Each structure stands twice: as structure tokens, then as C-alpha cells.
Amino acid sequence: MREMVEKYETVLVVGGEGEKCREVAEGYGFRDVITPGDIIKDNEATTPFRKLTPEERANSKKRNFGETKIDAIFVFADSRDWAGDIQIMLDLAMSKGGYIGTISETFDEGPPIYFSHNDIVWSAAHDNVRLGMGALRKMVEMLFKDLTKGKEFETIAFGKPQIGTFQFATRLLQQWRKDEHRINAPPETVYFVGDTPESDIRGTNQFNEKSKNDWYSILVRTGVFQEGTEPAYRPRITVDTVLDAVNHGIKREFNKKMNTAKSALALNSFGLKNLSLNGEPLNGDAKVGMKTPILEVSESTTPEAV
């Protein structure tokens, strides 16, 4: 979403507690950020069953929404009031050019709606999984179709398993390596740890098929994973905790380095056995008066370096 700062001027941010999402959006660089509280403060009839608390009223900004064009809607975090937020998002989706209170005749003039992820459920303290942002997205699309008598409305979801999220992560990793280590390339292997097969593992595996580097999917049993079931999307390995995933990655990388070092040492040994000087093989006993050739072994392949 941060990459869309230059594309949209005035945006509505939805979700989260208090003013957190507004602050995050402004931190990303968005120049004019509106919240549902701002819209309700301007016209309390917008959400008949939601009344602003004194704190919300104090934080919400007063403005004339009859003259305010909203260019895009971003659902940054899970909604704390589904009914009110859905009402406002639908009002704008059916609006004429993003102006609250207007109705489009064709229902295709409203601002786009972006969701930060598409997980329908997530694992919380409850014994059963809880509804997530993906469920909110489905409700918005379904209600829009019902209200407009069959008109389709396609929202956009970031996050996993959308390929764009992994492409963005790759760009960030490459930039970080360039800034910190002067290496202008993404890591050869990225260990992606997740607890949801339908989003984390699915997205990682799909991106790995297209990416130039290796994206290694690891599923942890601490989320929506249920023991004894076969995940819809198979990870490269399943572990108990995130720490186990980190240790697995470290061990795997160490083994890769050791195998590379062993191969290099084997090649060097082969070269020593087949060296000759003036047609005489050097197999351990150098003749008196003869100079022993010096082999240059790169530092990265010596046992000490390993």
C-alpha cells in the first residue's frame, strides 16, 4: 500500500483501534487520510446503530464531505465495527466519483477498495478459528451485488497468497541487502514461516515456481493447522514453533555450506594427486634440489574458514 502514495490523494482507511490506522497511513506518506469516524462525525445518520464515543468524537476530524472526493479505500486492519464500516464502504462503492451521499447510475464510478490480506479465518485465543478480513471482503462484494441487482464489484486484496505481496517482499529484501551489505541481489534462499496453508504456504509455493531465488515454505502447528489432517497446500517442512523453523533454516544453510566446502576440498585433493613437475609425478616425496610447487587455495574453501 505504501507504493500507492503517489497514485491517490485522499484515501479512507478502515480498521484497527482508535487513530492507529490513520497514523500508519500518514507514516507511509499518504497526504490526506480520512477515517470512518470523520464521516460519521459529519453526518451521524450515516450509521444509525453506531454512535461515536467521546474519545472518537474528539479524534475525528470535521470536514465537508459534500466537497470531498475520496480516491481509494484501504482496509489496513480488521474492522472493529463491521456494520458501520461496511455501510460506509458500500456508500462509496456505489457513489458517483467517490463523493459521499451521491449515487452512480452505472455503479462503476466509485473508488477502488484494497484489503491488506484475504484470510477468511485466523487463529486466536478461542478454541475455534475466528472470522478475518477475507470474510469482510466477501461480504462487501456480495452485498454490493445484491444492492445493485447483480452488478459485480471486484475488490483488490494484498497479502498472502497474492503474488504481488511476495514481489514486494523481494524488493524490500534486495534493498535492505544493498543498503546494509552492498549486495544488489535478493537472498538466494528465503525461509517463509506461516501458520495458514491456504495463504502462507500456498502463496510461498506459487511464488517459488516463478521466482529466481528459492522460497522455502515452513508450516508451524501453532495456527489454524490441525494435527492429523493433510494441508491443502503442502509445505517443504512442518514444525512445532517459529523457533524450530529458525533452527531448521540455520541447520539447512550450515549443511549446504559444509557440502560446498567438502566438494572444494575434494577438488583440491584431486589436483594435488595429479600434479607433476618436469614430467615427474608428485606423490608425496619431493626430490632433493627440486622446488615444490605452491598451490593457492582460496580462503573460502579452507577448513579453517569453514
Separation between Cα atoms, residue 177 and residue 22, nearest integer Å: 30
Backbone angles phi, psi at 188, to 5 degrees: -65, -35
CB-facing half-sphere around the CA of 171: CA atoms within 13 A: 8
108-137: per-residue pLDDT in tens?
999 999 998 888 888 788 888 889 999 999
Roughly how many angstroms between the first and final C-alpha of the chain, as a whole number?
42
Q: Identify residue 43 by its one-letter amino acid code.
A: N
Q: Which residues contact 259 (CB under 8 A, 6 or more apart)?
A: none
Give, for all 306 residues of the chain, the pLDDT tens digit. Answer: 888 899 999 999 999 998 999 999 999 999 999 999 999 999 999 999 999 999 999 999 999 998 999 999 999 999 999 999 999 999 999 999 999 999 999 999 999 999 988 888 887 888 888 899 999 999 999 999 999 999 999 898 887 777 878 888 898 899 999 999 999 888 899 999 998 888 889 989 999 998 989 999 999 988 777 777 777 889 999 999 999 999 999 999 999 899 888 887 777 766 666 655 555 555 545 444 444 444 444 444 444 444
CB-facing half-sphere around the CA of 151: CA atoms within 13 A: 16
The residue ranges of DSSP E strands in 96-175, in sequence order, are 113-115, 121-122, 130-131, 156-157
- The answer to whether the peptide bond before residue 161 is cis (omega within 30 degrees of 0) is yes
Angle, helices 133-147/82-93, rounded to nearest 10 degrees:
50
Q: What percent of the chain has pLDDT over 70?
A: 87
| CA dist 299 → 183, 296, 305 (Å) | 20, 9, 6
pTM above 0.75, yes or no: no
21-60: per-residue pLDDT in tens?
999 999 999 999 999 999 999 999 999 999 999 999 999 9
Parallel, antiparallel, or unpaired for β 276-277 and 280-281?
antiparallel
| CA dist 268 → 262, 274, 277, 293 (Å) | 10, 10, 17, 14
